[in-house]
Structure 1
């Protein structure tokens, strides 16, 4: 039987144990991955961006300078206190607690970033999230995926499974065009554009 999506309680427990459990603020690995993430974005500026899984807001802060508006969300409210403090100077950034795919914002986005969170979802929930992302991505808008690729036994999916689920929507007569694939030793980055 497939593993269920990890729920908010799982992440609350992780953040109760450690304010920065993945060392987003201090890790050279994370810093290099953030640089690659920003470098992959084809446009210098986006009108309305949506970041799924913002955690304590380190990548959100880097994205803020590239967006007229940014909605940054996380399933757990615990890291969002830090994210809100970090992003307080950026009045065009909104931080909200939201559990994807059961909750999803209204509106259209010309950039959606799914970074290091897709593998927390069961396949059925990932497919629901994918439908919602495609529905709310503007024509010619960009969808950027970045995920750790080694197997983590707690997680329902691997990073490669997440990316291949989106690759299935790319190609002739499909809604996405695949623009970029970057494989590093422990993570994968894929950029898509809505046709």
Structure 2
């Protein structure tokens, strides 16, 4: 069964690398249609109920350094399952969820409605996303492999780095060992790696990698 899942992942990645041969605008349009199609039914990947996903969320939060985070960004928030956990874990923070699928964001809005104006949900692509804010804590999980081409992975890594406030923390979560390829541009950039934990206990090993921006001479103020 594990071998079948790995083969499925390989075919999945190959399809998205092929898709990335399109221009960035065409790729973005097709990805929006793809994810809107998947989200025609609620929670298509069972993120709200699957034991593996819940364990991954817990492992991710466990790696976040202690501190006060005023502004948090989740890239690829989907229907807001993890967004809701962030709202609960950081009750004083403003939490922004970013996703390419408006259908997914509509369900995310229902899930995090209890937080009121502490949450913002935006339909946007990480490759083109701009913000007047810098964030104290940024999460990007199960997202980078959809970008395909090396140049787009490099651009997304630069974007994630640029979105951090001085001293801000970036948390990347992706399948292992593929995470070594997906994280390499962040790893080679100006951020300092704080930790990396590889969890191989489930059917699909994953890496939780934490980086921190310099407190001075960084990308800008919050």
TM-score scaled by length of structure 2:
0.76
- Larger helix fraction of residues: 2
* 1:64-83 pair list within 5 angstroms: 64-65=87-88, 66=90, 68-83=93-108
Alignment of 1:23 onto 2:42: no
For the residues of structure 1 that align with 2:142 and 2:169, how far apart are their CA atoms? 17
The answer (yes or no) to whether the contact 1:51–1:113 under 8 Å persists in 2 is yes
Which position in structure 1 is the counterpart of 2:164?
Answer: 137
Unaligned residue ranges in structure 1 (runs of 5+):
151-157, 170-174
Give 1:96 deviation, angstroms.
1.4
The answer (yes or no) to whether the contact 1:119–1:159 under 8 Å persists in 2 is no
Unaligned residue ranges in structure 2 (runs of 5+):
1-16, 21-26, 215-222
For the residues of structure 1 that align with 2:186 and 2:158, how far apart are their CA atoms? 10
Return structure 1 stretches of 4+ with deviation > 4 angstroms.
Answer: none
Q: Which moved more, 1:48-57 or 1:158-167?
A: 158-167
The answer (yes or no) to whether the contact 1:182–1:188 under 8 Å persists in 2 is yes
Alignment of 1:86 onto 2:80: no
Which position in structure 2 is the counterpart of 1:148?
Answer: 175
Which position in structure 2 is the counterpart of 1:179?
Answer: 194
Give 1:46 deviation, angstroms.
0.8
The answer (yes or no) to whether the contact 1:53–1:117 under 8 Å persists in 2 is yes
Which residue among 143, 149, 156 is the counterpart of 1:117? 143
For residues 87-129 of structure 1, the C-alpha deviation after alignment (integer angstroms, 9 at most, x for no partner) is 0111201111111112233211111110111111132222112
